[in-house]
Structure 1
Amino acid sequence: MDSSLDHITALFAQMQASGFDTSAPLKWCYYFTDAQMAPLRPLFEQLRDEGYANEYIGQVEEGQPWTLFMSKTELLTPALLHERNLVFNQLAAHHGIAAYDGWRVEKMTLFNPE
């Protein structure tokens, strides 16, 4: 995934404008894709051991690339997210994975039963 710090900084401003509290922990989701599942398995295990949650590993449809979708709830700044993207690009290359396919963020919701 190719992304600059300037681009990520602009995305954080857009997130704040649309109601994300970027000064609080958010659920950050990351995607890796490959034609085969085998290279995704060691990365899955590594990220799991580093505190990431497994959201999905599989194929949406037969013949489509395999996707590893991991998440972690934490506080990130634009600089930290940029560094994470660089590290994930390196991890994908190290594990022979075709692509670190990017990220998304989700607002945290609190459950109040009342």
Structure 2
Amino acid sequence: MIELSQLEEMFESIRAAGRWNMTEPMLWGYFFTDPSAEKLRAIVSPLEQAGYRFVDLFEADSDDDSDPYFFLHVEREEVHSVQSLHDRNVQLEAFADQNDIATYDGMDVGPVLGRQ
């Protein structure tokens, strides 16, 4: 679980850098991981129906002989406060659990191309 305090630190760091206006829509990427690419493919459609865009499904790089695992990356343009992002993370963690996905792995953020 991504803690609320971690999100507060993230937002403060973004504010301190002064590069992005977080009151405008940003491009939020969300990530899921699982040893099964098929299980991740199966959740793409429900996520798209919920307004997310599919970005990529890829195998994680591994330097050892460990079993492979895969990342699913989806994105959505939206405005978040610390609390709304926390709520989104809780929602996506529950979605992963309901669909027997190993982990909701968190998010990243960047400007919407052409806006900033």
Which TM class, normalised by the smaller chain length?
A: 0.7 to 0.9
Identity of aligned residues (%): 25
SS at match of 2:24: coil
Q: Aligned match of 1:85 in 82, 89, 99?
A: 89
State the aligned residue count: 110
Q: In the alignment, is residue 20 of structure 1 matched against residue 24 of structure 2?
A: no
Residue 60 of structure 1: how far off its partner (Å): 4.4
User: Which region of structure 1 is more displaced relative to structure 2, 71-80 or 102-111?
Assistant: 102-111
| 1:107 counterpart (106, 111, 114) | 111
Whole-angstrom distance in 2 between the partners of 1:3 and 1:60: 21
Gaps of 5+ in 1: none
- Report the TM-score when normalising by structure 2: 0.86
> How far 1:95 moved relative to its partner?
0.6
State the Cα RMSD in Å.
1.7
Instruction: Say whether 1:94 aligns with 2:80.
Output: no
Alignment TM-score, normalising by the size of structure 1 = 0.87
> Deviation per CA, 1:91-111, whole angstroms, max 9, x where unpaired?
111111111111000112317
Gaps (5+ residues) in structure 2? none
Please state if 1:43 is matched with 2:43: yes
